[in-house]
Amino acid sequence: MGGAEYIPTYFLSRPSSPSRVTIRSVSLASSRGSKGLEARVRNRWYSRIKKLSNVLDEIHKVKGWSSKIKFLYDNLPNLKFFLSGSASLMLEKEASSDLAGRYFLVEVSPLSLKEFAELHLKKHVDIHLQRDELERVFPLWIKRPFPEIVEWRDESRVYEYIRELVTERVVKVDLPGIYGVRGPLLSALSELFLSNPGMILNLSSLARDLRVGKQVLEEHLFFLEFAKIIRVVKNFRPSTRAESRKMKKIYPFHLALSFPYHPSLDRGKILEALVAQRMERYWREGSREVDFIGADLQPIEVKAKEEVRAGELGSLIYFMKKYGRKEGTVVYEGTSREERINSLKINFRNIVDFLLE
């Protein structure tokens, strides 16, 4: 190696039978220049094989990885790459710079409830036949949506993992290192928002409290959203321009990010943040508010209770009448059912059923 830049690569040739896979390792030294690299590549055994899949994990740790991958991709059409890494922001930045038109970006989301249940229970789970088991693991899933910690019982250890290896890694290392933004400001903002899911954002007031310019604050909010630490839910208005100016709500990108900062979140905030993971808008007008506005302007209210009376749905019904909606939804902890209030149809959805839809 001798200090040269290199990519440790493992080429998997198409097996002649399901039980045979060929794995070979090489190092591609870049210090000899592109001509030397090209000669080494073309003289290797793998240049004569029809199809190859190259799997590279933690690729971002190799300096200039995207230009090397670009060279290999352009010169060896039989070679296909599967690249992954924990520094997703760095991967996306370099890929868009050097690999434009050559890659497909696949975002791997945290585990769904069904995926978590199958890993935790170690079996296939049918969402209809094994609904009770999904409800049983639900409290575990909301705090452990990452494969590595599915089986962890110690919640303090779970919180430490999420805080240090997920949130703080992004706000203290990735974002400042890649984009030069302020780590301390990102940390303060992430702790504020993750501790208070559904907080209404007042830019002017928050900028004064943090003693930063409004433009600086907006820039750092953008990066927290871009890095999937927070999720911004806009206040619905018929006019798109008006909607973008009104006060927004801030939620964790995934509920699990909040628990390390506020382990005793109340049940209402928990359900609201879970529903927010699918939403982009809410509605507020004077003293009236609807938690979320879904597809086709369907209003959605979230209630942390097993029984909800018609008298508690005043804002929901008001919105439906104002905007001519025939259906509305209430996500709660009771049994899924339908109910008619005058001519309006209200879909009562249990939180687990809603998340499985």
Q: What is the DSSP string of 88-126?
A: HHHHHHHHHHH-TTT------PPPPHHHHHHHHHTS---
**Residues 52, 108: Cα–Cα separation, whole Å:** 23
- For the cut 60, the answer to whether the pLDDT of residue 3 exceeds it is no
**Span 24-40, pLDDT tens digits:** 444 544 444 455 555 55
Cα→Cα distances 162→86, 110, 204, 228, 272, Å: 13, 12, 30, 13, 20
Q: What is the separation, in whole angstroms, between the first and last Cα of the chain?
A: 52
pLDDT at 142: 98
Give how far the C-alpha of residue 303 lies from the chain's centroid of Cα atoms, to the nearest Å: 24
Which helix (H) or strand (E) is 269 found in, with range?
helix 267-276
Indicate the pLDDT class of residue 11, thresholds 50, 70 and 90. Answer: very low
**Residues 35, 144: Cα–Cα separation, whole Å:** 48
**Residues 258, 163: Cα–Cα separation, whole Å:** 9
Closest CA to 327 of 289, 282, 294: 294
**Span 116-175, pLDDT tens digits:** 999 999 999 999 999 999 999 999 999 999 999 999 999 999 999 999 999 999 999 989
Q: Residues 328, 348: contact at Cβ < 8 Å?
A: no
Biggest CA–CA distance in the chain, Å, is 79
Q: Domain ranges in the chain? A: 8-98, 111-150, 154-265, 267-357
154-265: CATH topology is Arc Repressor Mutant, subunit A (1.10.10)
**Residues 171, 189: Cα–Cα separation, whole Å:** 10
**Residues 96, 108: Cα–Cα separation, whole Å:** 18
**Span 81-111, pLDDT tens digits:** 888 876 666 677 777 778 888 888 888 889 9
The pTM of this model reads: 0.82
